[in-house]
Amino acid sequence: MAAHYQIVGSSSAAISASVESGIRSGGLAPGVTLPAVRALATELAVSPATVAKAYQELRQRGLVVTAGRHGTRVRPRPPVATRRAALMPAPLPGARNLSAGQPDSRLLPPLGPHLAALATELGPPSGYAVTAVLPELAAAARERLAADGVPAEEITVTGGALDGIERLLAAHLRPGDAVAVEDPGWANLLDLLAALGLRAIGVPVDDDGPTEPGVRAALTAGARALIVTSRAQNPTGAAVSADRAVALRTLLAGRADLLLIEDDHAAELARVPLHPLAGATPAWAFVRSVSKPYGPDLRLAVLAGDEATVARVAGRARVGAGWVSTVLQRLVLALWRDPGTADLVRRAGESYERRRDGLVDALAARGLVAHGRTGINVWVPVPDETVVVTALRDAGWSVAPGALNRIAAAPGVRITVSPLDAADLAPLADAVARAVRPVGPAPFTA
């Protein structure tokens, strides 16, 4: 898709400001291709170097991406507030939205009773002199992490997993540094790396996690950090297996030059055991979000790690945002302590599993291989994402194109099972099979 927005400016700063303004207004929608450097330079009567400098600045800030022969394009989610309409693909009335990657709101534990109980327990309002992490929350988090084999003497709290990851990367890396991430991987993480001016090195992932040769190659290519999703990898549903954990721990052992980050966002919702890498490297962090089991709006994650790494994150937060509200911390603690909530989370995990397995099996019965060992998504490798996404939209199902998740991985589509009921699985699998292998006109035979 090419841009129809008029870029203006006679200096590199003015040109990049004009592009940024186009992105904000929606005139330059995510994914559109910017004019080639020479063409824009001629149009604006400036030197190609001036345009190239503007594009470079936009690239460093993560607003655009340059991809070889595809030219320079606006990133799918550039880090400037955009009119929402510009980010949304045109919705088809009545289509079922399986593209959002959201947990099933029907299965999130209700917060009302816990908020009501908190209201009676809170006591006088807190001022600035609060402890960053509530000691009771830290103790409960330590116990839960230790039960999963994560050494959690040092712990802090962040505003969600991605906030923790951003703080870790900002504290350890500099713009231009390379970060190894799963490929396909979490689209928001790729956008964050771009916004921080970091380079993503893709590591192939199979059902058992990032592959050992892939991580080895990323290390050889100079990765300064490695981010591994423990379970419910987005988009493939992979979970680090016991064998893969041993192989990766051996490979990473003692690497003082690497920051190891584990993202356990599925947490209590994952129905497979955790095989942590925590502690394999001197600098490490293990981030566990409450978003998937208890609700994304809680905006809280616990972050364990080695002493220096946790101190950097907590210390930087102290001179910035300060801390995560103790009201939220108390709420999470109440959810963790409530046996009824634990039961709801367990049942939610079973429900996702039934729908994921049901969809993967229904696709297999139609000759299609799909992935989804854990989590809320199923990943279906397809020959052509655009063809499949469009055909499914026409059939009333909106799914996410894997292009948002991929660096060099093969194409696929991501289907979030949260909105699905058991009765949807067969018709959806039929629609996917038709979209992947459209029935064309019968071949001409003489």
Ligand X SMILES: Cc1ncc(COP(=O)(O)O)c(C=O)c1O
* Binding residues for ligand X (CB under 6 A): 101, 160-162, 186, 229, 234, 263, 265, 289, 291, 296, 301
Taking the C-alpha atoms of residue 413 and residue 99, their distance in angstroms, rounded to an integer, is 9
Q: Which residues pair with 66 in a beta bridge?
A: 72
Amino acid letter, 391: A
Instruction: Report the residue number, 18 or 291, with the smaller CB distance to ligand X.
Output: 291
- Tokens standing for residue 433: 């099979």
Taking the C-alpha atoms of residue 50 and residue 177, their distance in angstroms, rounded to an integer, is 25
> Three-state SS for 183?
strand
Instruction: Report the residue number, 56 or 188, with the smaller CB distance to ligand X.
Output: 188
Instruction: Report the residue number, 64 or 328, with the smaller CB distance to ligand X.
Output: 328
CB 290 to ligand X: min, Å: 7
Residue linked to tokens 């616990």? 302
Instruction: Report the residue number, 16 or 289, with the smaller CB distance to ligand X.
Output: 289
> 181-204: buried (b, 16+ CB within 10 Å) or exposed (e) per residue?
bbbbbbbbbbbbbbbbebbbbbbb
CB 309 to ligand X: min, Å: 18
CB 185 to ligand X: min, Å: 8
CB 264 to ligand X: min, Å: 8
CB 239 to ligand X: min, Å: 12
CB 130 to ligand X: min, Å: 22
Instruction: Report the residue number, 161 or 389, with the smaller CB distance to ligand X.
Output: 161
CB 414 to ligand X: min, Å: 10
Amino acid letter, 72: T
C-beta of residue 201 within 8 angstroms of C-beta of residue 218: yes
> 353-366: buried (b, 16+ CB within 10 Å) or exposed (e) per residue?
bebbebbbebbeee
> Three-state SS for 122?
coil
Instruction: Report the residue number, 36 or 321, with the smaller CB distance to ligand X.
Output: 321
Instruction: Report the residue number, 53 or 244, with the smaller CB distance to ligand X.
Output: 244
- Tokens standing for residue 268: 């209590």
CB 441 to ligand X: min, Å: 41
Instruction: Report the residue number, 192 or 436, with the smaller CB distance to ligand X.
Output: 192
Query: What stretches of 39-136 adopt beta strand conformation (E)?
Result: 64-66, 72-74, 96-97
> 228-255: buried (b, 16+ CB within 10 Å) or exposed (e) per residue?
bbbbbbbbbbbbbbeebbebbbebbeeb
Taking the C-alpha atoms of residue 7 and residue 425, their distance in angstroms, rounded to an integer, is 46
